[in-house]
């Protein structure tokens, strides 16, 4: 793919997953447990609901690399925010890419670790995540303007990862190359070079 084309969040997801062998192994283990080894078996909604590690991987990639990094809001009446009084109709930009890296909300926030979204109530490691701070994880926005496509997005991304990783081995062409992306209103991957091989069972 060339940098003239826009590559979506799916490629950002592939980049992060392919950078971490343990994540690929655990994803495949979950796919094999939930779906079995028959790669032609159709995926059902029940299967999708059981893919909890896959869910955690998608969320952790979003946390590190939100597609749109801020949310806009306008207040309808005078309000106090951050210790300042703001008149009505002030435009606010909520920089939630920063909220998703706050040290008081996230344990070791710079670390890429899907386990912070996976079975945390059974784990002593992610104490901050256990607080479930409201709006600390707002990749799909919140309130009445929240993204109506959020459930569809999670279903699509889980199906995509299932279809790819059950059948193929994806290897980054250069494991040391940083993600080639651009970020304006939306963050997009500009180019991702990978080697694709049939999965070695």
Give the annotated binding-site residues for heme: 147
Non-local CB neighbours of 88 within 8 Å, separated by 6+ positions = 75, 76, 77, 78
Element (H, E) at 84: strand 84-86
The reply to whether 140 sits near ligand HEM by the rule CB under 6 A is yes
Q: Residue 146, interface with ligand HEM (CB under 6 A)?
A: yes
36 or 149: whose CB is closer to ligand HEM?
149
For residue 201, the minimal CB distance to ligand HEM (Å) is 31
Report whether 158 contacts 51 (CB < 8 A).
yes
- Non-local (6+) Cβ contacts of 64 within 8 A are 16, 100, 112
Closest to ligand HEM by CB, 128 vs 139, is 139
Distances (CA, A) of 70 to 91, 92, 93, 156, 173: 12, 10, 6, 23, 32
Asked if residue 13 binds ligand HEM (CB under 6 A), the reply is no
For residue 81, report the phi and psi dihedrals to the nearest 5 degrees.
Answer: -135, 130
Per CB under 6 A, does 147 bind ligand HEM? yes
Task: List the interface residues with ligand HEM, window 61-90 (CB under 6 A).
Answer: 67-68, 71
In the bound state with ligand HEM, the residue whose beta carbon lies nearer, of 35 and 140, is 140
The verdict on 142 binding ligand HEM (CB under 6 A) reads yes
Nearer to ligand HEM, 109 or 142 (CB): 142
- Return residues touching ligand HEM (CB under 6 A): 9, 67-68, 71, 139-142, 145-149, 152-153
């Amino acid at each position: 793919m060339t940098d003239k084309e826009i590559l979506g969040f799916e490629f950002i997801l592939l980049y992060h997953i392919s950078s971490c062998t343990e994540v690929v192994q655990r994803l495949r283990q979950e796919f094999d447990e939930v779906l079995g080894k028959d790669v032609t078996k159709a995926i059902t909604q029940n299967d999708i609901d059981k893919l909890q590690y896959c869910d955690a991987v998608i969320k952790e990639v979003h946390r590190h690399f939100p597609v749109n990094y801020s949310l806009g809001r306008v207040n309808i009446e005078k309000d106090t925010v951050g210790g300042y009084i703001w008149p009505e109709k002030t435009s606010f930009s909520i920089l939630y890419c920063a909220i998703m890296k706050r040290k008081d909300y996230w344990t070791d926030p710079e670390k890429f670790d899907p386990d912070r979204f996976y079975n945390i109530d059974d784990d002593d490691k992610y104490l901050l995540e256990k607080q479930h701070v409201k709006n600390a994880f707002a990749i799909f926005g919140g309130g009445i303007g929240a993204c109506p496509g959020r459930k569809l997005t999670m279903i699509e991304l889980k199906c995509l990862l299932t279809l790819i990783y059950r059948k193929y081995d994806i290897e980054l062409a250069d494991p040391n190359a940083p993600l080639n992306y651009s970020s304006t209103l939306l963050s997009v991957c500009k180019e991702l070079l990978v080697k694709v091989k049939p999965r070695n069972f």
